[in-house]
Amino acid sequence: MRLPLGSAGGAASPYFSLQDLMRHWQPNPARPRREVVMITNGVDLYNSGPADPYLGDAIAQAQRAGILVYSIYAQGAGHLGHSFWRNNWGMNNLSQLSDEAGAESYGFGIAAFFKPYFDDISNRLAHQYLLTFLAKPEKKPGMQSIRVTAPELPNVELVTAHRVYVPASPLP
């Protein structure tokens, strides 16, 4: 957890904090499922816009580690809290992060109204399943597209990442 300090030094990029958490979070074979709930405005003071490399790095790291990242947008304070274009990119970035990490993003969070978001996240976690499959490794590690369907369950909504990290083939 990192609390914003109200300056560029303390709140420069929420994606740096996420990457630091994931880098130091050791996998536990007894409990392979790992999730993060981020509450932030999603604004990256180092890079706001359609191609944020820090966001991309956080997404790739979450995908490689198999960590689901739920995000709740919470409007910032001061000028940044009123900057429509920064807030718009912040919400878009959070949505992209959660979508590509196989989770959900929730918009326009006001602290008094977080309970429905936490209730939905709890419900999703209680109805979550681990899907394993064989991927065809390439010579180099990288992302591969996947498609998950459940034709025998027509009214079920599946929330999953659309790409997964596949390590390189151990054979030459």
Tokens of 165: 């990290």
pLDDT of 15 reads 93
Q: Which residue has the higher pLDDT, 95 or 78?
A: 95
Q: What is the dihedral of CA 117, 120, 126, 131, to 10 degrees?
A: -100
The pTM assigned to this predicted structure is 0.81
Q: Is a pLDDT exceeding 70 seen at residue 6? A: no
Q: Which of 16-30, 41-55, 122-136 has the highest mean pLDDT?
A: 16-30
pLDDT of 80 reads 64
Asked whether the beta carbons of 21 and 53 are under 8 A apart, the reply is no
Q: How many angstroms separate the first and last alpha carbons of the chain?
A: 42
Residues 6 or more apart whose CB falls under 8 angstroms from that of 36 comprise: 18, 21, 22, 62, 67, 68, 69, 70
* Residue 6, CA distances (Å) to 9, 81, 109 in order: 8, 11, 19
DSSP H or E stretch at residue 95: helix 84-100
Q: Which residue has the higher pLDDT, 96 or 87?
A: 96
* Residue 88, CA distances (Å) to 26, 92, 146 in order: 33, 6, 29
Does the domain spanning 14-129 belong to CATH 3.40.50?
A: yes
Q: Which residue has the higher pLDDT, 151 or 48?
A: 151
Tokens of 156: 């079920």
Q: What average pLDDT is seen over the chain? A: 83
Picking from 88, 10, 6, the residue whose alpha carbon sits closest to that of residue 49 is 88
Asked whether the beta carbons of 158 and 149 are under 8 A apart, the reply is yes
